[in-house]
Amino acid sequence: MPVRRVSLSFCATFITMVVLDLIWLGWLGRPIYLKHIGHLMRPEADMGYAALFYALYIISIFVSCVLMVTRVRQSAMRGAFMGFYA
């Protein structure tokens, strides 16, 4: 895979994950988390650990679901499986 295509694919994966997670954690999932596990949540997130988690998570998604696939169906199946165990 050419470097430019890999770079664009990684950026697309990164942007997609950040946008979807901001929507989920910022608006949709927040009331659910507060209701059920609010007593376990810290007042503020530790951004260092959050950055490390997202870096590793996005890299693992990119490598297993984007970089090492040849067909869209294969990527979708790997992504679904990764979502299941994540």
Closest CA relative to residue 61, chosen from 27, 18, 25? 18
Whole-model pTM: value is 0.78
Name the residue among 60, 64, 59 with its Cα closest to residue 75: 64
Query: How many domains does the chain divide into?
Result: 1
What was the pLDDT predicted at 16?
94
What domain range is 21 assigned to?
A: 3-85
**pLDDT of the residue at 79:** 87
Task: List per-block mean pLDDT (blocks of 10 residues) for the chain, which spans 86 residues.
Answer: 90 94 92 94 91 92 88 90 83
**Cα 80 to Cα 39: distance, rounded to the nearest angstrom:** 30
Residues 6+ apart with CB under 8 A from 79: 61, 65
Closest Cα partner for 18 from 65, 63, 67, 53? 53
DSSP 63: I
